């Protein structure tokens, strides 16, 4: 008795512990959602998931338990007969029952069997409901379905039926089929054991009328559901991937649809035969029905389609498949928004003159000379300041600086706690002290110092920058490197930023976290976070707050798990603060006839812009595409979640850009789906490819890139994303695509096609010309021989008026340094290709002196000769140089690269002054 009681205690303890952990996590999630003012989102998700789990679990439980209870009387009768007849032991060739088995059988009664059946039903129902509760979004989308306004060409149903309704019908069918199969197996197991007792250990199934009737009824139910499955599977031919194009083809429509209808009828007939057989008692009829369906299914779904495809379709494939190719082209273009692309002709053969360069200064002045990979290394050396700061990414954006529209590259200076010295990685430091990063580094895309380094618009700590980009709150509590929770407003001051050999400390000034004032809260979070130090630290006070899910890649998807997200969230400086801007997508794989991208989604819209405050962690979702049916459905499910784009602050709206991933997907799909003629498409006569380029010595696919240019149909420069195309198996350029980002033009895609009768150099053709230029190749070889590695940057194709110029930067990186320097720029236009220290010198060599900007100094020549005051002596200059050198060495030891760079510049100026003194 004591042993049983111990088992009960252990079981209860496990149950209580599991429930406590679940409730604790649930409550902390509620507090977290509440801190972000998304309580309604939390309750909608919770009640949807719990409601679906409760409903599915209850249905499964009732169905299974009722069927098991129907076997109880039969089982007890067989057990009683077994006890009375004393058939112990069983036949030794089958099973030998131990002596205590008879005592065990004596304890089995109606109540015991009922309890066992109840427990089995509860456990299986709990497991099943857990497996199906994750489909809560399928249920909600069904309840909030929206029409697309487009019907499929086969069944004439609105696309919304396939996106919202059909997944739910399949979900229901899967659930009831699973419930029926599990129940049938459980019931069969009971009858199996019961009849074995009656037959002295010989296992015989369906010997009794009762077992035949019961299992046959469940089998009939299964075949009814199988008939429904065949019926719903008809719609799946619209997503067939076995033909010449994705979607229903000739064989699908003329063979597979008929086969599915026949199989549906046969499944219903099998259900009827099984029920009739209950009275006829001819088990062979059931067997023949099941085997017949399997054989017919193999013939109709395998043999016949193969024969039709081989002997009817393939000999005349295009004529048979032409209408379905047209459907595939039409629906794929709609699904990816390719039908909205505006096309125009681009001459490209024109040669530019100096006046054209003058009139295109906004384009020329924003040509990106810095690639993000080498620039990231340079930023790390010049602006990380301390070991624990990290520039994890370089973002590209545009700002109006001193009245000029400038393209810039910027990076957030995040705090990476993993890079703290090992002895400093204490709980206090990681949880209470080192809580946030600080500021950004920003540089123009085209400006280079005489040392080959970027010129900064914003630099150092605290940030120094132009008045047009103030940063009163440069702290970054939420970012891409903030992977752990922190506690703020404690008795321990937070490290803010380094200042010389000292540190500046601060206190969090918002209430966006979760308060930890009470001992109950501390107990709760210590339990959930598995951190007992929360209970014993004396630094937490009534105003302390815990900041959780600080990594935006975890924070935002936790709020909106039904959205997909771009791979590149980017930092924005606006109104004195830092924000993360992140593009979110609505997707589905249920758009008829639409070709899936990389085998996954076949519908894509950038319907949401997400803004995350880097200081407070506040998250806002703005609808960027009002026409998208999926976002309409999500807005109906979560009415308090989304805001209109017009509600976004105007300054933040100026930094919206065409998303990288969307543009890339559309560009790749367009390589095939620009062909509108079905025969051209079938033959792949005009297929395009993504171009390749040489980067760091290796050939790679060219990535889309942002730039500021004046579009052919516009009278002012704008921020666009560009990518050229090449024909298949050829290297020349055939067209270029631009995604627009500014103002009313946001979201527009334009494609400019080059004349097919004229040669327009592609990226790899320009790369080959660079390799073949003797002057350039000799210089590159010379640098390599001197111990420096040459990094060939991204080749940019820049449209200027009705022509194209090509720009490729060259970086040098010594073996001893990890800091690339921009040392040369290569420019190609027409038949000319030149390499000079600066872009302006390249342009002046090609177009002459009058390009609109004064000639820059020769390489190595100082830009301005320093003037020496009369009272400065040689001794004072030498003394000052020695002092600056000592300071520079100390700065180098401390890793203060910005100050070290300034000291080096001061030394250079002093040396120039000494040179003028003839020293």
Residues 440 and 571 sit within 8 Å (Cβ to Cβ): yes
DSSP reduced 3-state for 859: coil
Eight-class DSSP state of 858 = P
Low-confidence ranges of the chain (pLDDT < 70): 1-18, 82-108, 198-207, 280-286, 786, 850-880, 886, 888-902, 904-905, 908-909, 911-919
Q: What is the pLDDT of residues 658-680, one digit of tens each?
A: 999 999 999 999 999 999 999 99
DSSP string, 422-483: GGG--HHIIIII---EE-EEEEESS-B-TTS-BPPSBBTTTTB--TTS--SB-EESSBSS--
Q: What is the pLDDT of residues 273-327, one digit of tens each?
A: 888 877 766 666 667 777 878 888 888 888 888 888 888 888 888 999 999 999 9
Task: State which H helix or E strand residue 236 sits in.
Answer: none
DSSP reduced 3-state for 147: coil
577-588 and 603-613 strand pairing: antiparallel
pTM assigned to the model: 0.87
- Give the per-residue pLDDT at 746: 94
Taking the CA of residue 303 as centre, how many other CA atoms within 13 Å lie in the half-sphere pointing to its CB?
7
Place of tokens 């489909």: 135
What average pLDDT does the structure give for the chain? 87
Closest by CA to 607, choosing from 589, 588, 632, 578, is 632
Place of tokens 């064989």: 251
Q: Looking at beta carbons, which pairs linking 523-532 to residues 24 or more positions away fall under 8 Å?
A: 524/24, 524/27, 524/28, 525/28, 527/20, 527/21, 527/24, 528/21, 528/24, 528/25, 528/28, 529/485
- Give the per-residue pLDDT at 670: 96
449/446 Cα distance (integer angstroms) = 10
- Give the per-residue pLDDT at 618: 96
56/48 Cα distance (integer angstroms) = 12
Angle at CA 751, nearest 5°, toward 749 and 755? 175
Q: What is the pLDDT of residues 128-160, one digit of tens each?
A: 999 999 899 999 999 999 999 999 999 999 999
Residue 889 CB partners (closer than 8 Å, separation 6+): none
Q: Tokens for 49?
A: 């998931």
Written in H, E and C, the secondary structure of 676-709 is CCHHHHHHCCCCEECCEEEECCEEEECCCEEEEE
Q: What is the pLDDT of residues 249-282, one digit of tens each?
A: 999 999 999 999 999 999 998 898 888 877 766 6
Closest by CA to 251, choosing from 298, 300, 294, is 300
- Give the per-residue pLDDT at 294: 82
Residues 846 and 803 sit within 8 Å (Cβ to Cβ): no
Closest by CA to 141, choosing from 563, 557, 626, 555, is 563
850/151 Cα distance (integer angstroms) = 59
Taking the CA of residue 587 as centre, how many other CA atoms within 13 Å lie in the half-sphere pointing to its CB?
18
- Give the per-residue pLDDT at 308: 84
Place of tokens 């790390």: 380
Residue 417 has phi, psi (to 5 degrees) of: -65, -20
- Give the per-residue pLDDT at 278: 72
């Amino acid at each position: 008795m004591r042993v049983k009681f111990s088992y009960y205690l252990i079981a209860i303890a496990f149950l209580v512990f599991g429930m406590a952990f679940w409730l604790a996590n649930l409550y902390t999630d509620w507090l977290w959602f509440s801190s972000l003012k998304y309580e309604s989102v939390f309750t909608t998700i919770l009640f949807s998931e719990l409601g679906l789990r409760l409903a599915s679990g209850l249905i499964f439980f009732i169905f299974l338990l009722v069927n098991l209870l129907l076997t109880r009387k039969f089982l007890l009768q067989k057990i009683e007969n077994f006890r009375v007849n004393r058939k112990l032991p069983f036949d030794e060739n089958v099973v030998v029952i131990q002596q205590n088995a008879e005592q065990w059988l004596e304890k089995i009664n109606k109540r015991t069997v009922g309890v066992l059946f109840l427990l089995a039903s509860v456990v299986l129902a709990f497991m099943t409901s857990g497996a199906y509760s994750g489909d809560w979004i399928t249920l909600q989308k069904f309840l909030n379905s929206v029409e697309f306004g487009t019907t499929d060409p086969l069944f004439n149903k609105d696309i919304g039926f396939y996106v919202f309704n059909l997944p739910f019908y399949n979900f229901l069918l899967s659930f009831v089929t699973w419930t029926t199969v599990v129940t049938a197996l459980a019931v069969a197991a009971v009858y199996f054991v019961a009849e074995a007792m009656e037959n002295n250990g010989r296992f015989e199934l369906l010997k009794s009328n009762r077992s035949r009737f019961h299992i046959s009824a469940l089998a009939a139910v299964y075949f009814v559901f199988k008939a429904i499955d065949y019926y719903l599977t008809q719609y799946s031919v619209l997503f067939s991937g076995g033909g010449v194009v994705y979607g229903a083809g000739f064989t699908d429509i003329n063979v597979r649809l008929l086969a599915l209808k026949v199989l549906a009828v046969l499944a219903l007939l099998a259900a009827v035969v099984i029920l009739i057989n209950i009275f006829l008692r001819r088990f062979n009829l059931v067997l023949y029905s099941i085997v017949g369906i399997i054989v017919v299914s193999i013939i109709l779904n395998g043999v016949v389609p193969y024969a039709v495809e081989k002997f009817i379709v393939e000999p005349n494939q295009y004529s048979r498949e032409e209408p379905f190719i047209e459907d595939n082209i039409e629906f794929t273009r709609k699904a990816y928004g390719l039908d909205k692309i505006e096309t125009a002709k681009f001459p490209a053969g024109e040669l530019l003159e100096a006046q054209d360069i003058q009139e295109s200064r906004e384009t020329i002045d924003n040509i990106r000379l810095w690639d993000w990979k080498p620039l990231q290394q340079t930023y790390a050396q010049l602006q990380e300041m301390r070991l624990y700061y990290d520039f994890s990414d370089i973002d590209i954006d545009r700002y109006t600086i001193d009245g000029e529209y400038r393209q810039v590259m910027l990076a957030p200076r995040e705090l990476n706690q993993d890079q703290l010295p090992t002895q400093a990685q204490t709980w206090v430091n990681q949880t209470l002290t080192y809580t946030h990063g600080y500021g950004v580094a920003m540089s123009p895309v085209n400006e280079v110092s005489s040392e080959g380094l970027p010129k900064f618009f914003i630099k150092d700590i605290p940030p120094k920058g132009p008045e047009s980009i103030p940063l009163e709150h440069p702290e970054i509590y939420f970012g891409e490197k903030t992977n752990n929770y922190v506690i703020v407003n404690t008795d321990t001051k937070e490290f803010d930023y380094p200042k010389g050999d000292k540190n500046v400390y601060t206190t969090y000034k918002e209430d966006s976290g979760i308060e930890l004032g009470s001992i109950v809260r501390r107990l709760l979070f210590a339990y959930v976070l598995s951190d007992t130090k929360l209970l014993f630290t004396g630094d937490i006070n009534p105003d302390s707050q815990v900041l959780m899910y600080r990594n935006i890649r975890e924070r935002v998807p936790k709020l909106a798990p039904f959205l997909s997200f771009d791979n590149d969230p980017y930092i924005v400086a606006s109104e004195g603060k830092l924000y993360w801007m992140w593009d979110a997508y609505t997707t589905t794989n249920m758009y008829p006839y639409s070709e899936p991208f990389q085998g996954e989604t076949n519908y894509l819209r950038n319907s949401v812009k997400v803004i995350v405050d880097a200081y407070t962690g506040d998250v806002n979702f703005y609808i960027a595409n009002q026409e998208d049916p999926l976002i309409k459905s999500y807005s109906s499910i979560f009415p308090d979640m989304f805001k209109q784009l017009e509600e976004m602050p105007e300054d933040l709206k100026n930094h919206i850009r065409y998303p990288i991933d969307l543009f890339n997907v559309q560009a790749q799909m367009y390589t095939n789906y620009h062909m509108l003629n079905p025969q051209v498409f079938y033959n792949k006569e005009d297929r395009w490819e993504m171009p390749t380029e040489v980067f760091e010595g290796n050939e790679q696919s060219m990535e889309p890139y942002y730039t500021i240019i004046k579009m052919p149909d516009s009278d002012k420069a704008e921020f666009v994303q560009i990518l050229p195309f090449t024909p298949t198996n050829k290297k020349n350029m055939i067209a270029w695509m631009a995604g627009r980002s500014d103002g009313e033009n946001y979201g527009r895609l334009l494609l400019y096609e080059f004349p097919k009768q004229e040669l327009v150099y592609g990226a790899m053709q320009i790369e080959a010309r660079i390799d073949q230029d003797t002057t350039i190749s000799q210089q590159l070889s010379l640098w390599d021989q001197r111990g420096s590695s040459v990094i060939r940057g991204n080749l940019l194709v820049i449209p200027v008026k009705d022509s194209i110029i090509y720009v490729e930067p060259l970086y040098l990186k010594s073996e001893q340094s990890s800091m690339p320097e921009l040392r040369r720029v290569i420019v190609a236009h027409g038949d000319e290709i030149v390499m000079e220290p600066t872009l302006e010198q390249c342009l002046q060599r090609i177009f002459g002196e009058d390009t609109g900007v004064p000639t820059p100094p020769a390489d190595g020549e100082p830009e301005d000769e320093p003037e020496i005051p009369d009272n400065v002596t040689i001794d004072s200059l030498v003394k000052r140089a020695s002092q600056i050198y000592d300071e520079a060495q100390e700065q180098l030891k401390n890793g203060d690269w910005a100050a070290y760079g300034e000291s080096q510049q001061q030394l250079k100026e002093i040396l120039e002054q000494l040179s003028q003194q003839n020293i």
